[in-house]
Amino acid sequence: MSHLTLKAVRKSYGSVEVIKGIDLAIKAKEFVVFVGPSGCGKSTLLRMIAGLEHISGGDLEIGGKRMNDVDPSKRGIAMVFQSYALYPHMTVRENMGFALRFAGVAKEQIAKQVAEAARILALEPLLDRVPKELSGGQRQRVAIGRAIVRNPQVFLFDEPLSNLDAELRVHMRIEIARLHKELQTTMIYVTHDQVEAMTLADTIVVLRDGLVEQVGKPLELYDNPSNQFVAGFIGSPRMNFMAAKVVEAGSGTVTVALTKQGNVRITLPLTAAPAIGSDVTLGVRPEHFGLAAAGDADLAVNVDVAEHLGATSYLYANTGTGEQLIIEREELRNELGKESLTVSIRAANSYLFDNSGQRLR
Amino acid sequence: MAQARLDRRDQITGWAFIAPALILLGLFMIYPIVWSLWMSFQVGKGMNLSFGGFANIMRLTKDPVFLRALGNTFTFFIVQVPIMIVLALLFAVALNDSTLRFRGLFRTAIFLPCVTSLIAYSTVFKSMFATDGIINEALMAVHLIGAPIGWFSDPFWAKVAIILAITWRWTGYNMIFYLAALQNIDRSIYEAARIDGVPAWARFRYLTIPMLKPVILFTTVISTIGTLQLFDEVYNFTAGNGGPSDSTITLSLYIYNLTFKFMPSFGYSATVSWVIVVVVGILSFLQFLVARDRRRSA
Ligand SMILES: Nc1ncnc2c1ncn2[C@@H]1O[C@H](COP(=O)(O)OP(=O)(O)OP(=O)(O)O)[C@@H](O)[C@H]1O
Ligand SMILES: [Mg+2]
């Protein structure tokens, strides 16, 4: 139940810098999720917190104490690995109790703690099996149990569910959420699955290229991304981006023309006033397209592919200019085979980004 | 029906393919083995043989040189195999550490002895262990010993020299097996143990060794067989006589001497050969027994 502070934390491998100065404050009992594209440094950052990687620069504090050079076992953390990392020759019981033997915990106490963890994770019937006799989900539960028995202040998870199939992943996701509620500890969770991020997190940290792009509550990131990268990364299917040009800037509004969508114009409320003629990008989420004439501007598109998922339908559409749009419409399931379509966009649900990808508000 | 006929034809084709190898194996391996078993019941010298029943086995129990060779072979086995296995394990674990510098160099250096020529290495070792050789000189220079050790004139030191030599030659060979096995172990298992506060010695004792158990068993059996057949080093170091006064003679060397050096006694030397087979069989069985998964069999 410790809070964590990262101050200008850096990591270099030789001359390659992979973590480029990260500042982060994580509150006690918070569930924080690191997301970001592959190779952005999520695992590296987590492993630095765990003490498995040396910190090249900056400070790491756990519970108010500087931990940069403290042995991993003395940081009050426990980690769950993607590969489970179970001891293959030990039973579930031994796997969970093994480390406690070296912490000077009495035998009866170990048995008690293992039994408690087994109860929390419903592992009681499996205690005498070895890992190869378990399913993937069961193995991951054992790995979590091994972390629980140590009563850590902070749990670290590195993509714990990515080796599981879709159904199990949903199940384990709920398990982990329940666990966080029950244990009330700080948890840091790495994933590139944004559904996991959105559903589990109190706070999401979006990383890119060793830097923090945005920190916030899941819906905050969804509703109010501070740049084009976060806007594109959070939300599935991803946000549509359309090239645009500023044609008019009034007081508190700006009008842009969608250059690759037949110069359709739309006026947005905006305090920042970009120069007239400057290139900007308009972002619209797939679920924010409306029926024709129901919004502030209409777009005529050709449908390439339609995916009907039952509850909703995704249309992959283009306007003949190379810009592909993904449109989500619930009512379109009955309009199979439709080649062309007119949809509307609303100013209130549109985002404007400048040339460097920063959000214009 | 058609299916069954096809199966039989497939079988014939299969056997036809392996027939040449089988014939050669039968001719040059199985036939001699069976013949040697037959031979082991023959008595007499040279070509003048006759069936002697268990006479050769009785002779074994009363043959002081055989008992000496058996004892020596066991001494080599008991002392050398554990030392070598432990050394190989330690080297493998050390060389598997990704933070160690010049790993490739060390790995090659430790592995190289087992691909060097036997004659070359025994000749070099022989000269190193000579009374005025480099080993005595070095030990005297650092005042570990006052007078040169008679490596090949003292029964005890002669055994030590041979154990040192074969350990030097075969440790790297075993190490490679362990290294290969270690590299297949998921690194995060050790990372998890480190985070959980398992000390380094316990990671070695309770994680590495159990996970390497199948490989350790394999190398132990292979090394046991190798040591029980120990011949070349002793032959080269002692000019073929297992001296001083039979203190380094091994079963294999004795077999050689019985067959080719003394008045040939083919029957009896076949009996001694079969002793090695039986001993290897018993020892391997015991090793499998010890290594058996206790939890599973309980
Ligand atoms: N030992 C290493 N030596 C050099 N570069 C490394 C090393 N480990 C990681 N990197 C680099 O650091 C960067 C971040 O790696 P990291 O494993 O943290 O990515 P990640 O965000 O966890 O990606 P993924 O989602 O694929 O797991 C990558 O570009 C990677 O190539
Ligand atoms: Mg990773």
Q: Do A146 and B192 touch (CB under 8 A)?
A: yes
Answer for the pair B187, B100: CB distance below 8 angstroms, yes or no.
no
Domain that includes residue A258, residue range:
240-360
Tell me the pLDDT tens digit for each residue of A131-173.
Answer: 999 998 899 999 999 999 998 999 999 999 988 888 888 988 9
* pLDDT for the residue B293: 67
The mean pLDDT of A253-264, rounded to a whole number, is 88
Q: Percent of chain A scored above 90 by pLDDT?
A: 70
Instruction: Name the residue with tokens 């190798």.
Output: B226
Residues A87 and A163 occupy one common structural domain: yes
Contact A51, A222 (CB under 8 A): no
Model confidence band, residue B3 (pLDDT cutoffs 50, 70, 90): low
- A-B contacts (CB, under 8 Å): 58
SS3 A17: strand
* Tokens matching residue A196: 């996991």
What is the Cα–Cα distance from A30 to A37, expressed in whole angstroms? 23
Residues A262 and A351 in one domain: yes
Residue nearest to atom 28 of ligand 1 (CA): A39
Q: Are residues A79 and A194 in the same domain?
A: yes
The residue contributing the CA closest to ligand 1 atom 16 is A41
SS3 B133: coil
Fold of the CATH domain B55-293: MetI-like fold (1.10.3720)
User: Are the beta carbons of A85 and B191 closer than 8 angstroms?
Assistant: yes
User: Given a cut of 80, is residue B203 above it in pLDDT?
Assistant: yes
Give the contacts of A274 (CB within 8 A, at least 6 positions apart): A246, A249, A254, A280, A354, A360
What is the token pair recorded at B262? Answer: 């003394």
Protein residue closest via CA to atom 22 of ligand 1: A43
Cα distance between residue B70 and residue B282, in whole Å: 15
- Chain A contact present for B192, CB below 8 A: yes
Residues A47 and A152 in one domain: yes
What would the pLDDT profile of A321-357 be if each residue is shown by its tens digit?
878 899 998 776 666 566 788 889 999 999 999 999 9
Count CA atoms within 13 Å of residue A42 on its CB side: 25
Tell me: the pLDDT tens digits for A52-81? 999 999 999 999 999 999 999 999 999 999
Contact list, B295 vs chain A (CB under 8 Å): 91
Strand A186-190 and strand A154-158: the pairing is parallel
- Residue B136 Cα to ligand 1 midpoint, Å, equals 54
Chain-centroid distance of CA A220 in Å reads 13
Q: How far is B96 from chain A (nearest CA, A)?
A: 17
On whether both A220 and A309 belong to a single domain, the answer is: no
This model's pTM is above 0.90? no
Q: What is the mean pLDDT of chain A?
A: 91
Give start and end residues of each alpha helix (H) in chain A: 42-50, 92-97, 107-120, 136-148, 166-183, 194-200, 218-223, 228-233
Rounded Cα distance, B123 and B129, in Å:
10
For residue B151, CA distances in Å to B42, B82, B146, B170 come to 39, 22, 14, 21
Same domain? For A328 and A344 the reply is yes
CA nearest B250: which of B267, B261, B238, B260? B238
Scanning every residue of chain A, which has its alpha carbon at the shortest distance from the alpha carbon of B200? A102
- How far is residue A88's CA from residue B212's CA, in Å, rounded to a whole number? 11
> Is the four-CA dihedral A317, A323, A324, A327 of positive or negative sign?
negative
Residue A128: burial class (beta carbons within 10 Å; 0-12, 13-18, 19+): exposed
**Is A174 in the same domain as A309?**
no
Same domain? A91 vs A140: yes
- The minimum CA-CA distance between A113 and chain B, rounded to whole Å, is 15
Contact residues on chain B for A74, CB-CB shorter than 8 A:
197
Q: What span, in angstroms and rounded, lies between the C-alpha atoms of A78 and A158?
A: 11
Cα A37 to averaged position of ligand 1 atoms, centre (Å): 11
**Does the structure show a pLDDT above 50 at B297?**
no
- Chain A residues close to B201, C-beta within 8 Å: none
- At B86, is the secondary structure helix, strand, or coil? helix
| B 31-50 residues with CB < 8 A to A | none
| Number of folded domains that form chain A | 2
Q: Which CATH number is A341's domain given?
A: 2.40.50.100
Ligand 2 centroid from CA B130, angstroms: 59
The response to whether residue A191 sits with its C-beta less than 6 Å from ligand 1 reads no
Among A233, A252, A284, the domain boundary falls at A233
What angle, 0 to 180 degrees and rounded to 10, lies between the N-to-C axes of helices B103-111 and B155-183?
Answer: 130
Here the CATH number for the domain that contains residue A194 is: 3.40.50.300
Residue A40 near ligand 1, beta carbon < 6 Å: yes
Dihedral angle over CA of A145, A150, A152, A158, nearest 10: -40
Q: Which residue of A has its CA nearest to B293?
A: A89
The Cα A83–Cα B290 span in angstroms is 31
Strand order of the β-sheet with A340-345 is A290-291, A340-345, A297-308, A313-318, A324-329
**pLDDT of res. A332:** 65
DSSP β-bridge partners for residue A257 = A245, A265
pLDDT digits (tens, 9 = 90+) for A164-199: 888 888 988 998 999 999 989 999 999 988 889 999
- Region B187-205: mean pLDDT is 93
Higher pLDDT, A126 or B239: A126
Q: Are B207 and A87 within 8 A, CB to CB?
A: yes
CA-nearest residue, atom 9 of ligand 1: A44
Contact A78, A156 (CB under 8 A): yes
**B105-150 pLDDT, tens digit each:** 998 999 998 888 888 888 888 888 888 888 888 988 888 888 888 8
- Residue A219 has a CB neighbour count (10 Å cut-off) of 11
Q: A97: which chain B residues are within 8 Å (Cβ-Cβ)?
A: none
Cα-to-chain-centroid distance, residue B103? 27
Angle between helices B266-291 and B55-62 (to 10 degrees): 80
Region at A117 (left for phi over 0; alpha for psi -120 to 50; beta for the rest): alpha
Q: Do A98 and B196 touch (CB under 8 A)?
A: yes
Residue with tokens 């709920």: A174
- Give yes or no for a contact between A38 and A94, defined as CB atoms under 8 angstroms apart: no
Domain boundary among A186, A208, A233: A233
Residues of A in contact with B194 (CB under 8 A): 52, 72-73
Is A54 in the B-facing interface, judged by CB distances under 8 Å?
no
| pLDDT at residue A303 tops 70 | yes
pLDDT of residue A279: 93
Q: Kindly report the average pLDDT of chain B as a whole number.
A: 87
- Tens-place pLDDT, residues B239-276: 877 777 888 888 888 888 888 887 778 888 888 889 99
The answer on A268 and A229 residing in a single domain is: no
* Total residues belonging to chain A: 361
Nearest-by-CA chain A residue for B210: A89
Question: Which ligand is located closest to the Cα atom of residue A209?
Answer: 1
For the four alpha carbons of A146, A148, A153 and A156, in that order, the dihedral sign comes to positive
Inter-chain touch B188–A89, beta carbons under 8 Å: no
Residues A133 and A205 in one domain: yes
Tokens for A282? 């308009």
Give yes or no for a contact between A24 and A188, defined as CB atoms under 8 angstroms apart: no
CA nearest B129: which of B155, B151, B105, B100?
B151
Q: Which of A143, A156, A151 is nearest to A26 (CA)?
A: A156
| Chain B residues touching residue A114 (CB < 8 angstroms) | none
Q: What kind and span of H or E run contains B66?
A: helix B64-95
Nearest Cα neighbor of A83 from B19, B98, B192, B56 is B192
Distance A210 CA to ligand 1 centre (A): 10
CA of A47 to the centre of ligand 1 (A): 11
Are A185 and A286 part of one and the same domain? Answer: no
Clarify whether residues A251 and A223 are in a common domain: no
Instruction: Give the containing element (helix H, strand E) for B119.
Output: helix B118-128
Q: What is the structure's pLDDT at B236?
A: 85
Any ligand 1 atom below 6 A from CB of A44: yes
Predicted pLDDT of residue A323? 87
Which of A202, A217, A233 delimits the end of a domain? A233
Q: A229-252 as b/e, with b when 16 or more CB fall inside 10 Å?
A: bbbbbbbeeebbbbbbbbeebeee
**Looking at chain B, how many residues does it have?**
298
